Amino acid sequence: MRRIAFINEKGGTCKTTLCVHVAARLAARGLRVLVADLDTQGHAGKSLGVDVRGLSPTVHEWLLDDAVPLERVVRPTAVAGLDLLPANKDLAGFPVAVAAAADRAERLDRRLATVGEDRYDAVLIDAPPSLSLVTENVLRAARELVVPVALTYLALDGCAEIVQSLERLRAERGAAPAIALVVPTLYRKTQLADEILAKLRERFPGELSRTVLGWSVKVDEAQSHGRTVFEHAPRSSGAAALAAIGDEVLARAPAPAGVTAAAARAAGS
């Protein structure tokens, strides 16, 4: 089962947009997908039409209590083959609740280990937009990272922070998730955007996505209705770009052991 985290230590980079749409694209290609929302804003759920306000139990309870089964927390979505592990503001209490626990940074990894590969082919994790104990859990649980970088200076700085966090984790544990894909987002034709894109090509020659995600009003419209752009405006440029990015994530599955039978079938179709 693939574990892919969408992460940047800077907000507003299209992290949730990519997570939800890549998940929908993988589901459309025949994979069984779980989106695990680890952000207190709950935007992954809201983007999939799930009202997470006041919802209980959520990923917060699932992380805190081993007696809470996944079945009680997971919510189906309107996208066939795509389930949601929802979050809301309750997750803000997680760091305090586990502060004294020896496994406080390993909770997500341990709980995901109980999810059988016969249930999901991939778990896509929407990480919070800043370094925190929740982010530490995400980095320790993920096996692959997709790093969206809005073509602004601050988002580029957030990407650099992620690289530093990975280096620190590798020094501590001897291992860290690999950066599978770096995705330039919110592109507009400006000199600054092109300069940042050039820097990304230089820094991540093998990881940079072939597709640059531009700003799309259709994606915003879709999210306002709790739908993916594939449902809302399937022929739009935003839908085409997000589908291409999803296909690239699928094609970059670790091989050979990391590819499930379903993923291999989908990749070859």
In this structure, which amino acid lies at residue 125? I
Residue 142 has pLDDT above 50, yes or no: yes
Task: Confirm whether 143 is domain-assigned.
Answer: yes
Residue 266 has pLDDT above 70, yes or no: no
Q: Residue 58 belongs to a domain with what CATH number? A: 3.40.50.300
Residue-number span of the structural domain to which 15 is assigned: 2-251
Instruction: Give me the pLDDT at residue 255, please.
Output: 62
Task: Confirm whether 41 is domain-assigned.
Answer: yes
Task: Confirm whether 261 is domain-assigned.
Answer: no
Task: Confirm whether 265 is domain-assigned.
Answer: no
Tell me the three state secondary structure of residue 89: helix
Task: Confirm whether 21 is domain-assigned.
Answer: yes
Residue 164 has pLDDT above 80, yes or no: yes
Task: Confirm whether 181 is domain-assigned.
Answer: yes
Residue with tokens 């700003």: 215
Instruction: Give me the pLDDT at residue 259, please.
Output: 40
Task: State the burial class of residue 198 (Cβ atoms within 10 Å of its Cβ: 0-12, 13-18, 19+).
Answer: exposed
pLDDT, one tens digit per residue, over 71-129 is 999 999 999 999 999 999 999 999 999 999 999 999 999 999 999 888 999 999 999 98
How far apart are the C-alpha atoms of 158 and 11, rounded to whole Å? Answer: 9
Query: For the range 80-83, what are the long-range contacts, defined as Cβ-Cβ under 8 Å and sequence gap of 24 or more?
Result: 80/27, 81/27, 81/28, 81/30, 81/31, 81/32, 81/33, 82/23, 82/24, 82/27, 82/33, 82/34, 82/35, 82/48, 83/33, 83/34, 83/35, 83/120
Residue 21 has pLDDT above 50, yes or no: yes
Instruction: Give me the pLDDT at residue 111, please.
Output: 97
Q: Cα separations (Å) of 145 from 19, 138, 203?
A: 11, 10, 16
Q: How many independent structural domains does the chain possess? A: 1
Residue 253 has pLDDT above 70, yes or no: yes
Distance of CA 14 to the CA centre of its chain: 10
pLDDT, one tens digit per residue, over 225-234 is 999 999 999 9
Instruction: Give me the pLDDT at residue 5, please.
Output: 97
Residue 264 has pLDDT above 60, yes or no: no
Q: What mean pLDDT comes out for the span 59-70?
A: 97
Task: Confirm whether 257 is domain-assigned.
Answer: no
pLDDT, one tens digit per residue, over 175-204 is 889 999 999 999 999 998 999 999 999 989
